[in-house]
Amino acid sequence: MTREELIEQIKIKKSFLCVGLDSDIKKIPTHLLRKEDPIFEFNKAIIVSTKAYAVAYKPNIAFYESRGAEGMESLRKTLEVIPKECFTIADAKRGDIGNTANMYAKAFFDKSSSGFDFDSITVAPYMGADSVKPFLEFEKKWAIVLGLTSNPGSIDFQQKELTNSKRLFEEVASTVKTWGTDSNLMFVVGATRGVDIAAVRKQVPNHFFLVPGVGSQGGSLSEVVEFGMNKDCGLLVNSSRGIIYASADVDFAERAGQEAQKLQLQMHDHLKTNKII
């Protein structure tokens, strides 16, 4: 998916919602366990109920890899039922270099090789340019680079002040943006501190942010918009548990759709206020 196509979907659906498919066999409704592929059936129902409100879907790859070949087959089938107009994110946080990075890229981008054709993948930049650039060699594919995360441990390294008075996460953003463009690079930016979102936005004014942490982790959608939105929206706000586990009963899909719609309506108002729609 191109940048222009993503922006167009945001305007059409009046939404910048990303639904995280962190699908845990221990948390899905028990009646699905009678199905041949419970995880796929769960994901398919969630997608059907939320596709009117979401512009992106983000399977967390660990939840599928942990189930071996069976889990990866669930993932493959899930990717097939996500509407083609939706942006797909392999939340894999890969971080190796050279040939290994290139093979990771093929694993998620090259359908003829692996069976997967994601639009993007999350990448850790700790090993430098050669841990990110292999993912940028695939046309119309994106690397979503970990910039500033919302977990408590982010303070251990990301918030460290450097000799140039920048914090490490600011230096990461300003350096990584030189490796690609705003049409193939995004940044993961956690939702829990608005002033830090603003600090990243200062470094990369035109790039999209993938923003976790709204909802169950305490992040505020209004604050994310205030400090992170740009003229093209520039945001994909992810919600996982708050949507997919809204109910553990037979109405789980209906409830997921209701929660997704609630967020979409808020997003509509923000897009309208900021004159994007």
CATH code for the domain in which residue 208 is found: 3.20.20.70
* Domain span including residue 266: 3-273
- C-beta atoms surrounding 201 within 10 Å: 20
User: What is the band of 248 on the pLDDT scale with cuts at 50, 70, 90?
Assistant: very high
- Mean pLDDT for 122-139 is 97
CA angle 96, 101, 104 (to 5 degrees): 115
Model confidence pLDDT, tens digit, residues 137-157: 999 999 999 999 988 899 999
- Mean pLDDT for 262-273 is 98
pLDDT value, residue 193: 81
Active site residue 93: yes
- Tokens 């090259």 found at: 110
Single out the residue of 89, 119, 106 nearest to residue 21, CA to CA.
Answer: 89
- Mean pLDDT for 82-88 is 98
Pairwise CA distance, residues 187 & 200, whole Å: 9
- In the predicted structure, residue 192 carries a pLDDT above the cut 90: no
- Mean pLDDT for 79-83 is 98
Secondary structure (DSSP) of 227-268: HH-BTTB-EEEEESHHHHTS-SSTTHHHHHHHHHHHHHHHHH
CA angle 146, 147, 149 (to 5 degrees): 80
- In the predicted structure, residue 42 carries a pLDDT above the cut 70: yes
- The SS3 call for residue 189 is strand
Main-chain dihedrals φ then ψ at residue 239, nearest 5 degrees:
-130, 125
- In the predicted structure, residue 82 carries a pLDDT above the cut 70: yes
- In the predicted structure, residue 215 carries a pLDDT above the cut 80: no
- Mean pLDDT for 219-234 is 95
- In the predicted structure, residue 200 carries a pLDDT above the cut 70: yes
Please give the share of the chain, as a percent, with pLDDT higher than 70. 99
Q: Are 58 and 238 in contact (CB under 8 A)?
A: yes
- Mean pLDDT for 73-100 is 97
- The SS3 call for residue 2 is coil
* Residue of 11, 44, 77, 93 marked catalytic: 93
User: What is the band of 216 on the pLDDT scale with cuts at 50, 70, 90?
Assistant: low
Residue type at position 54? A
pLDDT value, residue 213: 79
- In the predicted structure, residue 218 carries a pLDDT above the cut 70: no
Question: What sign has the CA pseudo-torsion 172, 175, 179, 181?
Answer: positive
Count of domains in the chain? 1
